Structures are given as C-alpha cells and as structure tokens.
Amino acid sequence: MRLDKYLKVSRLIKRRTVANEACDAGRVMINDKVAKASADVKIGDVITISFGNKEVKAEVLTIQETVRKEEAKEMFRYL
C-alpha cells in the first residue's frame, strides 16, 4: 500500500493531501529513510512523522484498504 494512503487509512494523518504534503516536505520516514508518498509500506516497517518539534513513531502491524474508525488504531502501535 502507498505510504500516503496508509497514513490516511490508519488515521495517523487525517487527510491524504496532508499526508502527501508531509512526504514532499521530507517530514515522513520509513525505517529511518526519508520516504516519498508513493513508497510501499510493509508490515514491520517503522514510520516516523515529524510535526514541528514533536516526532511520532509507529510500527506497522496490519495493512487494510478500508477500516472503521474504531479499528484504525489496531493497524499500528506507537514506539
């Protein structure tokens, strides 16, 4: 699954366009490497998102095309 879509579906970032912009600005990394929005996300990857002076790290647990809001937090775990 594309990185921008995963960020939206998992609700780490609310909108796909915002996820795209964050990737273009170099604020999203997969396994400590700067990632483009089109990068492929796999189970076990560690995604790091920089929000200003705050950093969020999450490990990918599952990949699903669609998910309900309540189940979205089960797609990843914070590190």
DSSP string, 21-38: HHHHTT-EEETTEE--TT
pLDDT of amino acid 16: 94
Classify the C-alpha dihedral 70-73-11-38 as positive or negative. negative
Q: Which residues of 32-61 are buried (b: 16+ CB within 10 A; e: fewer)?
A: eeebebebebeeebebbbeeeeeeeebebe
What's the rounded Cα separation, in Å, for the pair 16 and 6?
9
Q: What is the pLDDT of residues 1-49, one digit of tens each?
A: 999 999 999 999 999 999 999 999 999 999 999 999 999 999 999 999 9
Q: Which of the four pLDDT bands, split at 50, 70 and 90, describes residue 52? A: confident
